[in-house]
Amino acid sequence: MVDKKTKEVKVKQKPEEAARKALLEDLFYDFHSSRVQIYKMNFVRGIFLGFGTVIGGTLVVALLIWILSLLGNVPGGIGDFVRYIEGIIEAGPKS
């Protein structure tokens, strides 16, 4: 249905969906009364998300290198391959 005065499209919702949406909006506005507060909270959340991602990635890479160093002494082709990968990781970028 289109309202000719405001040119907005209105979507009919089921009563359950409308009640659920109203409840979520009510809860949202109870916790966040102003947009400034929301922006501050999202900014801090983004900083911690980025920091946690960097720390987590660093730990995963360190764990991977540690496991590869343990497998470096395995006889056969696996040990040679692991030492080759370790050499690539330790050399870093060629710039």
pLDDT band at 53 (very low <50, low <70, confident <90, very high): very high
Count of CA atoms in the C-beta half-sphere (13 A) of 25: 6
Question: Per the structure block, which two tokens stand in for 63?
Answer: 């764990």
**Over 70: is that where the pLDDT of 8 sits?**
no
Domain ranges of the chain: 13-91
Global pTM value: 0.48
How far apart CA 72 and CA 85 sit, in angstroms, is: 10
User: What pLDDT sits at residue 59?
Assistant: 96
How far apart CA 25 and CA 14 sit, in angstroms, is: 17
For residue 41, give every residue at least 6 positions away whose Cβ sits within 8 Å of its Cβ, in sequence order, or none.
32
Give pLDDT tens digits for 63-94.
988 887 777 666 767 777 877 887 888 887 77
